[in-house]
Each structure stands twice: as C-alpha cells, then as structure tokens.
Amino acid sequence: MTLLSVRGVSKRFGGLVAVNNVSFDVAAGELVGLIGPNGSGKTTLLNILSGLADPDGGEILLDNVPCQGLTPERLAHRGVMRMFQLTRVFRRMNVIDNLLVAGRALGLGADEALARAHALISELRLDVIRHLDAGQLSGGQMKLLEFGVCFMVPPRIALLDEPFAAVHPTMKEIMGDFIRARHEKGQTFILVSHDMPVVVELCPRAVCMNAGAVIIDATTREVLNDPRVIEAYLGGQAA
C-alpha cells in the first residue's frame, strides 16, 4: 500500500532549479535510500516533504491525501517526522526533558511520555547521560537523542537526513540497529546518506538524484551499478 506519493515536485531558487519534476512512491513499511552528489536536491526535497519549504509545482500525497504546504507541526501530527543533518535539539534541556517535550507536544499523557522516554533512552544507550543537558553531549549522542525525539510517537514516515555523518562508529552501530529493528516492525523511512556501505546494508531500494532530478529508482544494487550513477556520484567505480 502506497503511503507517500511524490508527483512532479519542483522547487526553484531564483534561476536555480533545485528540485526538477521529481516523482516516486514510498510504500508503507519501506526503507528507501535517497542518494546523490552534493547539490543534487536531496535536502531540498526533504525540506518540502517535511513542510519547511513549499514546492513551486507538483503534488505530495500522504495516505492519498494532499499534504504539500502544511506546516511542519501539522505534518508531525499526521506522522511525518524529520531528523536534520545539523542536529536540532533543545541544548539547554536535559536528555529526558527533550524527549518529554516531544512526547507531550504530540499528545502523550505525562505518564506515557515518561515511560516512552525511559524506554528510548535504554534502547539508544543514553542511560548514563540522561540527566545531562543536550548541549553537553557529543555530536553522536545528540544524533541519538534526535532519534529518540522522532520516535517518542512512532511516525508514519521518518525522514532522516545524513544521520551517520561525522559520527563515531559505536554511535553509527546503535543508529543502524535502531533503524533496522524499526524497519523489521514495519516502520517507513526515507534515508539520505553518503555512506554507501550503510545504504547497501539497510536500504533494499534507492532513489538517486542528480542536478535536482531522479535519474534512477530501483533496487540499491541496481542503482549503485547504473552507469549514470557511477558518472554522477561514485567516481567511475561500480559497486
């Protein structure tokens, strides 16, 4: 069953076409890698999908209902959650309170939010730093906290923008395990990453963009061995 449909979406910044007539579908329970070289339009597309930017053309359907133009808050209440390349947490709040704020904002009661926060802290291995302010955490720990924030209420679809960038291998392993476990339970993801081994490991399917357009949408192995992808992104070497 199709959960998200992107139909002919475009976005311009002056004379620059950042997203050019992009179309693809994401079925419920899929884990789709969104790849491409720097400047290919991936983050701009995630900004549109998460309500941070309005498309100049095209349509986005969530559960077959148009959702383009909705604010990030309204999309969050409809189950669209976003992790950012530059982590966004409340740096002057401790780990537990960051999670509680997210849970209460999405409608959880106090007791349910606290129980959910403790469960995520344990799963993400943040126990020893649960009372530290987020600003005291390492970059990888803040990424793990942002995972928790996104999953205080399990989203319909999680949009992850470079979650593994500049992260210690131990943190990367925790993130990968978290994504894999959620996917096995039916969670839907769009994952933007330049970490090709992680994309191959986690994503059965990939969509590759270049110069704002989709150049191929296929299994991840097919995508990484496509000559257009090799030329655009992988420096001339097939996977």
* pLDDT tens column, 166-222: 788 998 999 999 999 999 999 999 999 988 899 999 999 999 999 999 999 999 999
Output the furthest CA–CA distance in the chain (Å, rounded): 54
Q: How confident is the model at residue 239 (pLDDT cuts 50, 70, 90)?
A: very low
Picking from 154, 185, 209, the residue at the C-terminal end of a domain is: 154
Same structural domain, 95 and 173:
no
Check which CATH number belongs to the domain holding 132 and give it.
1.10.8
Q: What is the mean pLDDT of the chain?
A: 91
Same structural domain, 170 and 147:
no
Predicted pLDDT of residue 233: 65
Predicted pLDDT of residue 72: 92
Structural domain boundaries enclosing 209:
1-79+156-239
Same structural domain, 3 and 73:
yes
For CA atoms 37, 195, 174, 137, the dihedral sign is negative
Same structural domain, 66 and 178:
yes
Same structural domain, 64 and 174:
yes
Predicted pLDDT of residue 234: 55
Predicted pLDDT of residue 11: 96
Same structural domain, 42 and 31:
yes
Picking from 154, 184, 202, the residue at the C-terminal end of a domain is: 154
Predicted pLDDT of residue 89: 85
Same structural domain, 166 and 211:
yes
Same structural domain, 164 and 238:
yes
Q: Does the pLDDT at position 238 exceed 60?
A: no
Same structural domain, 224 and 112:
no
Indicate the number of domains in the chain: 2
Rounded Cα–Cα distance for residues 193 and 28 (Å) = 21
Q: Does the pLDDT at position 53 exceed 80?
A: yes
Same structural domain, 3 and 75:
yes
Picking from 154, 170, 202, the residue at the C-terminal end of a domain is: 154
Share of the chain above pLDDT 90, in %: 76
Residue 209: CA count within 13 A, CB half-sphere? 29
Predicted pLDDT of residue 232: 83
Check which CATH number belongs to the domain holding 7 and give it.
3.40.50.300
